Chains A and B, each alone.
Chain A
Amino acid sequence: MTSPEERGSSAGGRAATIPNGAIVFTDIVGFTELTDTHGDDVALALLERQEELVRDALPEDARVVKELGDGLLLWFDDACDALYTSLALQRRFERESAEPLPLWVRIGMHWGSPRRRGDDIIGRDVNLAARIVDLAGPGEVLCSEALAEEVGPLEGVEYEPLGPVFVRGFAEPVPLMRAALAP
């Protein structure tokens, strides 16, 4: 499989359609409050720690699309890789949180076909993945039903349907699942 930058063209301002993949958002919980109470240097260290752990965990078919204010946008060619990596990342965030501040990260993901614009990816599916992460708590991985269906049953992974969820900017509710490593 190939990554977005190897597919199609990103000519000028025109966005090229790329094949389906997993769109994953990570987000540091309470980052604004942490910056306010502990200062920019401490907050920056958290961001760098998050990115270091993410880059270390990414398989070959995945990449960091871009850094956001307090999170990352990731792309995976393979849905199983995306889910396994996200769940493993949550374990690492929990285990390797550096003092004094914990690294609480929430993850939201969706399976879809965004448009490519330069190195970036845009479109409805990207927007939806961004909304999904808003509903996750620290340490959680939430995914769309579309991603769960693409993954199918996966050894060691449990899904809990959360039902239809309305998210900002989408007229219809989105069926969401909570994914977790089996105890």
Chain B
Amino acid sequence: MKVRVESKTGSVNVVAEEGATLLVSGANVEMKEDGSSIVRSGSHSIDVRCAPGTDIVVGTMSGSVRATGALGRTHVASKSGSIEIDTATTVDARTHSGSVRVGECAGDCRVVVTSGKIRLGRVGNASLNNVSGSITVDVAHSGEVKTVSGTVRVGTSATGVLKIRSISGTVEIAVPVGRTPAARLKSISGSISNDCDQGTDGEIDVKTVSGTIRIECR
């Protein structure tokens, strides 16, 4: 099942739960021949209930987006609204000034934010970009992070390649005790510290211009 939601200023609340068929309140629903559904509203809040694994595409101007339950491929774009996604197989989330929170994403988790915060729980492959907001990831198996001045805190499973680029933001990476990643750390004027022994448990590749780099085993 695929559901597309368009809401200009109203908030969007999506709940995926066992046994649910598509149920929408606050908006009109248009059923398409390919089995997908389009939900549209202007300023009213929209509530959508759907089956687990549903692919959702949500676009808002300023309305916030909240998605709970286990969703499939999830795309959310908002000019200024905040985005919260509990669980999805893949995520593409974009907001100019809102914040983004993703609980769990087994596959690719791509987030593009200008000035808001990015907060992720456990993700497979993270692709995270912002200019000035902070980026926090509990655990990423692999990923690429780019930020100009935001602080980056990432936990890694030290199984894949983690690449982080920052201009002036501090970069802190937590590695599980006992793992020994191959670390390539470079900062032109910032300090570098690395608690972990060099090894072959994944790769950590960090470059900053003036930001501090800290790798800790914990």
Contacts and interface: CB of A to CB of B under 8 A. Distances in A.
A38 B149 CA distance: 12
A167 interface: yes
Interface in A97-150: 99-102, 104, 134-140
- Dominant SS among interface residues on chain A: loop
Counting contact residues on chain A (CB < 8 A from B), the size range is 20 to 34
A165 B58 CA distance: 8
Nearest 10 A-B pairs (CB), nearest first? A163-B57, A30-B148, A137-B129, A137-B112, A166-B61, A164-B59, A165-B77, A30-B131, A173-B59, A33-B148
B205 interface: no
A101 B167 contact: yes
B113 to A, nearest CB: 9
Contacts of B60: 166
B168 A163 contact: no
Interface string A33-46: 11001100000000
Name the prevailing secondary structure of the B interface residues.
strand
Given A100-B209, A134-B96, A163 B112 contact: no
B188 A104 contact: no
Nearest to A32: B131
A176 interface: yes
Contact of A135 (B58, B112, B149, B209): B112
Contacts of B79: 166-168
